[in-house]
Chain A
């Protein structure tokens, strides 16, 4: 952590789940350590971009809402991703744009209005000591976050920022197409995997033509989808590495899309893997929401990812 660290925000009410996230923890999955990082990479990256932060700068991932913060100094911030009815001093906070916060002002996130997770970035980034190369907070593993021990935000926490967290940033306009309506039915792009041919024909037809409902068994490890029962000719595999967005199908036939905090290895057969941007989109869906799966190709997935990263670099 830099010695130029100062306290930027005080946590008045922590709410159910607010976590510090950089791009993720890499190079240690062979030790059984999960990837972590923002569940919605797109919203997290935009929040950072809006305050001129470099890719990978730590920002807050706020799930559900219930969080109230008070500025301990003047700050330049941006909130992107889900709309959790955020207010600044009681007035609606504009999303997807930089905002100046004066010392003593209160920033509150109430409840989901559109999407599930909001990302709060501060100019220069939040500051914490990296653990295994990352500050990404994984509660289950006790790694990362402001305390280094995987702690989510708690009442009374004081959040460190850099000394120039109040710097001015250039006004930016986020293209409308980059601000998703998370409540609309989502089509998730999936790259078919090696076991796709082991599913029955009926199951494959259903997987890609019938709607799926986001279950309430959903967290940063994975999101369960309910719908037609899928049948795979193989029940389980010898455990092997699991990539981000992998869609595994346990014997009950209901798929689980695996997100950032997934276990590193597992043995259920898979339909394939969601593209990173589709995994992000799914992470913004509320229980009960409808999604569809659509097969895509590596070429299309790659060009989508390139467009996204080019926009973040520009």
Chain B
């Protein structure tokens, strides 16, 4: 395999993940470049395994391949995976995911951690917003909840730890940061991330083709909008404290 798979680290590796799965470990570290490789492997698995493929779970450095062990023995599945890895090439940039814009209203009423994050970063609230909205993020993984996309990497200056005590109820569509990642909550849930604002985007919709707005590999921008625009786009401006 290639330069990007550091052979000294013994990568890629195919690891046991139970009777019906193999974990393909391609990288040791989180990096945007991983996405093109993981995407290429996912595509190959779909073509190779066809109807014997049960699920694929891509994450930062790995691809979990779940298959039907009664139709394809674990040993044969492993062999096939090993063969897919031999001449794997990364996807080209053009195939590297959709570009998505998330209109976001940054305001302390819906982003109650804005001011604390600003103090922590030694920046003004405006600068925090500019900084968060000022770069394109990649979706590294979906998990935690349907449509919950882990995106990165955040500007180092905005790196703040999770809350000591998670909120019981984070309102739907809250835009949040933790560590060097950012996300938007597709549904009401408990959560310990720092809330900066709220998006008007529909993140998860059971009636939409593909269900989740964001998918692994997508390129995402948060676009600041004012309250009037946010509400016109269907955003819910109810303050966080009223969601308890």
Q: Interface residue count for A (Cβ, 8 Å)?
A: 43
Q: Who on chain A is nearest to B66 by CB?
A: A243
Distance of A242 Cα from B55 Cα, bound (Å): 11
Task: Given A32-B142, A142-B187, A192-B16, answer yes or no on A243-B21 (Cβ-Cβ < 8 Å).
Answer: yes
Does A131 belong to the interface (CB within 8 Å)?
Answer: yes
Q: Find out whether the CB atom of B18 lies under 8 angstroms from the CB atom of A273.
A: yes
For window 1-46 of B, CB contacts with A under 8 Å fall at 13, 15-21, 23, 25, 29-30
User: Mask for B188-218, Cβ within 8 A of A = 1, else 0?
Assistant: 0000000000000000101000011001100
Q: Find out whether the CB atom of A238 lies under 8 angstroms from the CB atom of B59.
A: yes
Distance of A33 Cα from B212 Cα, bound (Å): 10
Q: Find out whether the CB atom of B17 lies under 8 angstroms from the CB atom of A241.
A: yes
Distance of A246 Cα from B18 Cα, bound (Å): 7
Q: Find out whether the CB atom of A30 lies under 8 angstroms from the CB atom of B56.
A: yes
Q: Interface residue count for B (Cβ, 8 Å)?
A: 46
Distance of A193 Cα from B25 Cα, bound (Å): 13
Neighbouring A residues of B171 by C-beta, 8 Å: none
Most buried by A among B54, B59, B148: B59
Stretch of B67-75, B87-95, B127-135 with 4 or more beta carbons under 8 angstroms from chain A: B67-75
Neighbouring B residues of A191 by C-beta, 8 Å: 16, 18-19
Neighbouring A residues of B147 by C-beta, 8 Å: 31-32
Q: Who on chain B is nearest to A194 by CB?
A: B15
Q: Find out whether the CB atom of B16 lies under 8 angstroms from the CB atom of A264.
A: no
Neighbouring A residues of B216 by C-beta, 8 Å: 30
Does B141 belong to the interface (CB within 8 Å)?
Answer: yes
User: Mask for A237-252, Cβ within 8 A of B = 1, else 0?
Assistant: 0111111111000000
Does A105 belong to the interface (CB within 8 Å)?
Answer: no
Neighbouring B residues of A246 by C-beta, 8 Å: 17-18
Neighbouring A residues of B142 by C-beta, 8 Å: 30-32, 264-265
Does B224 belong to the interface (CB within 8 Å)?
Answer: no
User: Mask for A265-283, Cβ within 8 A of B = 1, else 0?
Assistant: 1100000111110000000
Q: Who on chain B is nearest to A244 by CB?
A: B18
Distance of A199 Cα from B18 Cα, bound (Å): 18
Q: Find out whether the CB atom of B146 lies under 8 angstroms from the CB atom of A31.
A: yes
Does A263 belong to the interface (CB within 8 Å)?
Answer: yes
Does A309 belong to the interface (CB within 8 Å)?
Answer: yes
Does A305 belong to the interface (CB within 8 Å)?
Answer: yes
For window 56-108 of B, CB contacts with A under 8 Å fall at 56-64, 66, 69-70, 73-75
Contact of A298 among B74, B145, B204 (CB under 8 A): B74
Chain A: minimal CB distance from B174 (Å): 16
Most buried by B among A31, A140, A263, A305: A31
User: Mask for A80-122, Cβ within 8 A of B = 1, else 0?
Assistant: 0000000000000000000000000000000000000000000
Chain B: minimal CB distance from A141 (Å): 5
Q: Find out whether the CB atom of B16 lies under 8 angstroms from the CB atom of A272.
A: yes
Neighbouring A residues of B187 by C-beta, 8 Å: 141-142
Q: Find out whether the CB atom of B19 lies under 8 angstroms from the CB atom of A240.
A: no
Task: Given A30-B215, A30-B216, A131-B206, answer yes or no on A306-B70 (Cβ-Cβ < 8 Å).
Answer: yes
Q: Find out whether the CB atom of A238 lies under 8 angstroms from the CB atom of B30.
A: yes
Stretch of A21-29, A69-77, A201-209, A226-234 with 4 or more beta carbons under 8 angstroms from chain B: A21-29
Does A14 belong to the interface (CB within 8 Å)?
Answer: no
Distance of A309 Cα from B19 Cα, bound (Å): 14
For window 18-76 of A, CB contacts with B under 8 Å fall at 26-33, 35
Neighbouring B residues of A33 by C-beta, 8 Å: 146, 211
Given contacts A193-B15, A239-B59, A305-B69, 12 further A-B contacts (CB under 8 A): A28-B211, A30-B56, A132-B206, A193-B18, A194-B17, A240-B57, A246-B18, A265-B142, A276-B19, A298-B74, A298-B75, A306-B70
Residues of B within 8 A of A (CB): 13, 15-21, 23, 25, 29-30, 54-64, 66, 69-70, 73-75, 141-150, 187, 204, 206, 211-212, 215-216
Which 4 A/B pairs are nearest by Cβ-Cβ distance? A241-B64, A241-B57, A273-B18, A194-B15
Contact sample, A vs B, 12 pairs, CB 8 Å cutoff: A29-B56, A30-B215, A33-B146, A141-B145, A194-B17, A238-B30, A240-B60, A241-B59, A265-B144, A275-B18, A276-B19, A306-B70
